[in-house]
Structures are given as C-alpha cells and as structure tokens.
C-alpha cells in the first residue's frame, strides 16, 4: 500500500518538480564522467610521461569529487526541504485519516529511495554514453593512439557514484524524517493558509548596512587589483582570505539591505509602481528575496567562482595549446654549463658524430651564453631602476643577466623562427617574450649600459620578441644581445645546441632524445629539453586545468540555477490562489504571465548581476596570477564561459518559467 502510494506521489511530484529530478540526473552524469577518466584512458596508448600526468590528474579529480559531493549533498538537502514544506497539508490529511507519523516517515523513505534509484540508474546510463564522447576528447587532447578504443564502462566510477550518492540520499532520508516528525497536525493542515513572514527592516539600518557592504566590497576589489602589491604581496598567502571573506560578508549585507529598501524605493515611484500589475509583481519579488537572502548570497558567490574558474581554466588550456608551437619550435636542446673558465667550448658536432646521431639532424646550431659579474638585473634596468624597484618591491635584482653575441643570437633566431636582433658597434638589444615585464620603460628612457667595460646605447625603443631556451610559454624575462666585438675575449658560462631532426615520427624522436641525453658532455651540469616533453607537460597542465575548472564550474553553475528554479516553483505552488484572485478582479492572462516573467527574470538576474560585478575585479586578479605563466588575456575564454552560462543558467530560467506558467 505504502509502496503504491509512494510511486503515485513520485509521479505527481515529477510533473511539478521535473527540474529537481533532472538536476539529480545531471549531477550523477557529471560525477560519473569525471570519475571515469582513468578507465577511459586505460585503453589509450599514452607515453610514459603522459601516463604519469594522467594519474596525477585522476588523483586531483578524485579529491575534487569529495568537495563536489558535499556541494551536491547541500543542493539535494536544500531542494528536499522545499519539497517537504510544500506537502505539509498532504501530510496533515494523512494524519487526519489515521496514518501514523511512523508510516508517513516510511512513505518519505520509500519516495526518496525510488527517486534516488531512478536518478542513479538514468544518470549512470547517460553518463556511460556521454563518457564515450569524452574519451575521444581526452584521446585528442593527449594525442593518444585510439587503435584499442572500444565501448567502455567504468566499474570504479560506478561504485564511487553509488557510494557517494547513496550517502547523500541517506542523509536526505534522515533529514526528511526528522523534519516531518517535528510537525504538529494543526500546523500541517494550516500550512497552505500561512503566508511567508516578511519582517520589516529598519530603513536607517538598511542604509547603514548598504553603505558598509559597498565599502567592504570596494576595499576587497582594490586589495586584489591595484592594492595587491601594497596589501597582499608582502604578507603570508593566507592573507588573501581577508579580502575574499570581506567580499562574501559585503555580498550578504548588500542583499539584506536591498531586500529591505527596494520595495520602499520602488513604491515611492508612483508611475512605475502603480502601472498594470507592478505593485503585485514587486511585492512578490520582495517576498522571494526576503525569504532567502543567505541563499542568494551563496548563489552569487558560486556564480562568481564559476565565471572565474571556467575563464581561467579555459585560458590556461588555450594558452598552452597555442604557445607550444611558438616557444618549442625546435626538436631538442642541450645545455652544458662549463666547470671553469679554462674549459674549452663544447664541440657538439664532434660529440654527436662520435655517438652516431649527427646524421639524424637536419639542423644543428651551437651558441654560447655569457654573464658580466659587474652587470646584473638591477644594472640592466638603467634609468628605470628606481621606478621599477618601487613598483616591484618584492623582487630582488642582484642576479646576473644572460648576454649573447649578435651573431649567435641571430643564428638561434633563424632556427627558432624568431625576430632577429640588429645592433650597431656601440648598441645593445633586449630580448624578451614575457609581455608584462619592465624593459620597455628602460628603453623609453634611452638608458645607457656598461657591459664588459664598454658603454652601449639602445638600438631603438622596441624590445625584441624572442627567447634563448625552448619552453612551453613566454618565460623569458630578458637577456641582452651585444656586438660580437665586445665579447671576443670573454669566456661563456654555458654552451648550448639547438637541434631539428629529419624524422618527425614521435617514437623515432623519443629514441633520438634518449640517445642524446645519454651522452657524456663534460661540464659542471647538463640539461636537456625537447619539443615532445614540453608538449606533453603543457598538455598535462592544460588538461588538468580544463577538467578541474569544468568539473567545479559546472557543478557550481547547476547548483545555483537549480536552487533558484526550485524556489520559483515552490513559490508558484504557494501563490496559485493569489493568481486566481487576480483573474477574478479583471487581470488578463497576458498581464499575469508578464508579471510572472518579470518576477522570475529579476530573481535570476539579481545574483548574476552582482556576480558579474565581482568578476570584473576577480578576473583582473586571476589575470595577474596567470601572467606569471605567460597568459595575457582571458577574453576568448570569457566569451566561452558566457555562452556556457547562458545555456545552463538561462536554460534553468526558461524551464522554471515554463513550469511555473503551466502550474498557473
């Protein structure tokens, strides 16, 4: 009997709360997909270094899954609270007809169990199917061999999903039973007649708190942007929590004060407030906001985090994908540091010939790098030294700076497909590819330099865009190119060779890289880098940033939109009688639908608008951090993020409005 009633209730609830059930299924799908990456990549042929990066990414995603399960648990419990509250009168009727609270609790347990099993079965089935598509995406991302690819079902991800969601549903069952157990019969029967209590807030207090919230958020914005070097950079890393915490408190106080002031301000504008159903619309909206100030504040912060996470993650992925070809254009590089000033230059051509690898090289360029003990980074700033040290007080400028001859650099520029450096007999050029660095000011001031005892002037006001070490990004913060004549008698501190192979086959290049790395070059130290290694490491970091950002961002976005949608639906059920009264006093369907649309649109936009304001400054902070690895813009990724938000957040709004309209 109870089982039959439970199935009927689920069927009835599904009509009104399809968004809730779809969110449960979507949560299971996303959880399964991101936790099944290990089994998806197990079939793919990955290199050893890529495999280790994949294992590290799986461990990170596994840890993130614990946090994700907590977020989903909060969402499901929060949504379940709405569902239980809306059924109070139904439970009161059950008690009146003689059903005990124990049986009602059993009924709720059965309903939660059925809903949980349905969402898990459908979610896992959809997750398994969609994960096949993500397998192809992962294979393409890691340039893996898909010869062994086949339809894949991850037992480990399934078990993890069942355990995590099983615990969540168990907590929901306990929560629902306790909630019903505390209710009294008279309260249950009169629940529908009860209006939401709206406590009038003191206008003066609202104004004070509004100003306080603006001040808190304003200081937080300044601290993470223009005030970063003053407030945060010289303090422990944990200090960043101060502006973040103040921003969160300011967000809550802003919504609290707005919920008390907005209706008064709008009602004073008679032309707007008295038009059509606006008085009803704004009172309904005020009631919604008043009843969930804390929830809207949390949603606003989650939306802000979503935008920053997705934009940053996608930017990192795009940056590394686009920069590998530019900054790792050679196949291999070998650096040999000299043991002493008396050591002879490294004869790379002879060494490679003796070890049987010279014939495999289509290009071989050897260059030397020097340093002047009387010329460090501070000296290299020239007339801009005082200005730059004041701007960057946390940086020390006493390290030596690399110097190359113009002939060596131009040989290097040719093989690495970079801009050449032209210097006269008494000129220098500065080569930089780290776009945020500071030498542009040095050249603007026409700074003279003394290098190896020779006074040199800049060769112009333009920095040469280039580098001397192959890598996966813009990490060259500056070195000097000088005329060959002034360093003829100087001894380099390192030699290096840049190599291209005839073959471009991956396995052949890996084998050649290993042979070259096994050679004894002498010297105090030898380092190697190759396009393949740089590419694999960059892809690994790119993939980790993309997957973690998408995982967290999508869950935050779905949770935020689902909570707002469920609030809208539950309020619509409560307010059916109010809309019937509007019809009786002459309001037509177009006006009623217009009022409903305005309420829900403003309700959805309110946290999003403040989140976008937060994002203006949050993205600036993210960009300051990402500039350290060479990312200089987030525009492209922000456009992609906006599209994702419009599709998911906008989709929930449209679905909530459509369901609400059908209920009325």
* Distant-in-sequence, close-in-space partners of 378: CB < 8 Å, separation ≥ 6: 385, 389, 397, 398
pLDDT of residue 342: 73
Express each pLDDT in 469-491 by its tens digit.
877 777 788 899 999 989 878 88
Give alpha helix (H) positions in 369-421.
377-380, 385-391, 406-415
**Where is average pLDDT lowest: 91-95, 246-250, 374-378, 510-514?**
91-95
The encoded tokens of residue 582 equal: 């509007």
Express each pLDDT in 32-49 by its tens digit.
888 887 665 544 555 566
CA dihedral 449, 440, 497, 473 (to 10 degrees): 150
The one-character DSSP state at 36 is S
Strand partners, 646: none
The encoded tokens of residue 620 equal: 């600036």
pLDDT at 353 over 80: yes
**For range 437-466, the mean pLDDT:** 88
Strands 332-337 and 403-405: unpaired
Count CB-CB contacts under 10 A for residue 56: 12
What is the longest distance spanned by two Cα atoms in the chain? 105
- Give CA–CA dist 73/164, Å, rounded: 9
**Where is average pLDDT lowest: 134-143, 425-434, 506-515?**
134-143
> How would you class 602 by CB atoms within 10 Å of its CB: exposed for 0-12, middle for 13-18, buried for 19 or more?
middle
**For range 608-623, the mean pLDDT:** 92
Strand partners, 497: 334, 366
pLDDT of residue 68: 86
Average pLDDT, the chain: 82
SS3 128: helix
**Where is average pLDDT lowest: 78-82, 454-458, 577-581?**
78-82
pLDDT of residue 53: 67
- Give CA–CA dist 209/211, Å, rounded: 5
The domains of the chain are located at 1-194, 330-533
**Where is average pLDDT lowest: 51-55, 69-73, 506-510, 540-544?**
51-55
From 9, 45, 598, select the one nearest 275 (Cα to Cα). Answer: 598
SS3 498: strand
Cβ contact 158:32 at 8 Å = yes
- Top pLDDT among 137 and 186 is at 137
The encoded tokens of residue 117 equal: 């099993």
Helices 531-574 and 18-35: angle between axes, nearest 10 degrees: 160
**Where is average pLDDT lowest: 242-256, 578-592, 639-653?**
578-592
- Give CA–CA dist 369/137, Å, rounded: 42
Express each pLDDT in 5-18 by its tens digit.
777 767 776 666 67
- Top pLDDT among 604 and 573 is at 604
Which helix (H) or strand (E) is 405 found in, with range?
strand 403-405
Question: What percent of the chain is predicted at pLDDT more than 70?
Answer: 88
**For range 178-203, the mean pLDDT:** 61
Question: What percent of the chain is predicted at pLDDT more than 90?
Answer: 22
- Give CA–CA dist 610/604, Å, rounded: 11
The encoded tokens of residue 158 equal: 């399934």
pLDDT of residue 450: 93
pLDDT of residue 149: 56
> How would you class 17 by CB atoms within 10 Å of its CB: exposed for 0-12, middle for 13-18, buried for 19 or more?
buried
Count CB-CB contacts under 10 A for residue 322: 12
The encoded tokens of residue 104 equal: 């009602």
pLDDT of residue 199: 59
Cβ contact 173:113 at 8 Å = yes
**Where is average pLDDT lowest: 283-292, 365-374, 601-610, 651-660?**
283-292
**For range 358-376, the mean pLDDT:** 92
- Kindly calculate the radius of gyration of the chain based on its CA atoms and give it in whole angstroms: 32
**For range 294-309, the mean pLDDT:** 91
| Entry pTM | 0.79
From 313, 307, 305, select the one nearest 543 (Cα to Cα). Answer: 313
From 555, 408, 539, 601, select the one nearest 46 (Cα to Cα). Answer: 539
Considering Cα of 324, then 330, then 336, then 337, what sign does the dihedral take? negative
**For range 600-627, the mean pLDDT:** 90
pLDDT of residue 44: 52
Express each pLDDT in 57-107 by its tens digit.
777 878 888 888 888 888 888 777 777 766 667 777 777 777 777 777 777
Residue position matching structure tokens 């991850």: 154
């Amino acid at each position: 009997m109870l089982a039959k009633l439970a199935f009927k209730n689920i069927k009835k609830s599904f009509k009104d709360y399809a968004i809730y059930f779809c969110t449960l299924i979507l949560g299971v799908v996303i959880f399964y997909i991101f936790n099944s990456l290990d089994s998806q990549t197990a079939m793919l042929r990955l290199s050893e270094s890529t495999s280790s990066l994949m294992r590290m990414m799986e461990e990170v995603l596994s840890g993130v899954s614990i946090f994700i399960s907590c977020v989903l648990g909060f969402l499901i419990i929060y949504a379940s609270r709405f569902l239980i509250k809306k059924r109070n009168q139904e439970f009161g009727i059950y008690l009146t007809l003689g059903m005990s609270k124990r049986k009602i609790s059993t009924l709720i347990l059965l309903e939660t169990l059925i809903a949980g099993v349905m969402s898990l079965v459908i979610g896992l089935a959809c997750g398994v199917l969609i994960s096949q598509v993500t397998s192809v995406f992962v294979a393409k991302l890691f340039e893996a061999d898909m010869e062994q690819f086949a339809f894949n079902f991850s037992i480990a991800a399934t078990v993890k999903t069942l355990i995590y969601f099983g615990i969540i549903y168990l907590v929901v069952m306990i929560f629902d039973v306790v909630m019903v157990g505390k209710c009294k019969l008279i309260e249950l029967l009169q629940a529908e007649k009860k209006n939401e209590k709206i406590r009038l807030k003191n206008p003066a207090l609202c104004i004070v708190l509004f100003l306080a919230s603006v001040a808190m958020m304003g200081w937080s914005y300044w601290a993470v942007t223009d005030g970063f070097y003053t407030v945060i950079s010289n303090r422990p890393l944990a200090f960043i929590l101060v502006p973040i915490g103040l921003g969160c408190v300011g967000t809550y106080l802003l919504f609290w004060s707005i919920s008390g002031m907005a209706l008064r301000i709008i009602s004073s504008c008679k032309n707007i407030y008295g038009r059509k159903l606006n008085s009803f619309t704004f009172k309904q909206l005020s009631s919604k906001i008043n009843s969930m100030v804390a929830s809207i504040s949390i949603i606003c912060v989650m939306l802000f985090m979503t935008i920053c996470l997705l934009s940053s993650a996608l930017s990192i992925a795009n940056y590394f994908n686009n920069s590998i070809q530019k900054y790792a254009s050679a196949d291999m590089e070998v650096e040999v540091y000299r043991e002493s000033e008396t050591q002879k230059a490294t004869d790379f051509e002879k060494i490679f010939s003796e070890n049987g690898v010279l014939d495999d090289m289509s290009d071989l360029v050897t260059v030397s790098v020097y340093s002047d003990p009387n010329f460090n980074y501070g000296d290299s700033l020239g007339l801009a030294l005082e200005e730059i040290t004041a701007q960057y007080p946390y940086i020390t400028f006493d390290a030596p700076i690399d110097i190359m001859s113009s002939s060596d650099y131009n040989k290097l520029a040719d093989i690495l497909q970079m801009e050449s450096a032209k210097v006269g007999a008494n000129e220098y050029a500065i080569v930089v590819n780290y776009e945020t660095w500071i030498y542009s000011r040095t050249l603007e001031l026409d700074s003279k330099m003394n290098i190896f005892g020779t006074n040199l002037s800049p060769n112009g006001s333009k920095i040469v865009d280039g580098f001397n070490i192959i890598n996966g990004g813009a990490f060259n913060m500056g070195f000097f190119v000088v005329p060959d004549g002034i360093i003829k008698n100087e001894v380099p501190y390192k030699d290096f060779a840049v190599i291209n192979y005839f073959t471009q086959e991956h396995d052949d290049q890996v084998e050649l890289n290993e042979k070259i790395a096994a050679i004894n070059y002498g010297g105090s130290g030898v380092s190697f880098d190759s396009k393949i290694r740089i590419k694999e490491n960059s892809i690994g970091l790119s993939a980790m940033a993309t997957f973690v950002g998408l995982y967290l961002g999508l869950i935050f976005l779905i949770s935020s939109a689902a909570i707002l949608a469920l609030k809208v639906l539950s309020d619509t059920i409560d307010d059916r009688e109010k809309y019937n009264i509007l019809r009786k006093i002459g309001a037509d369907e177009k006006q009623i639908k217009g009022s409903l649309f305005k309420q829900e649109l403003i309700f959805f936009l309110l946290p999003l608008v403040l989140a976008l304001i937060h994002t203006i400054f949050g993205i600036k902070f993210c960009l300051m951090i990402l500039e350290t690895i060479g990312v200089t813009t987030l525009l492209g990724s922000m456009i992609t993020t906006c599209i994702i938000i419009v599709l998911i957040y906008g989709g929930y709004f449209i679905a909530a409005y459509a369901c609400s309209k059908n209920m009325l």
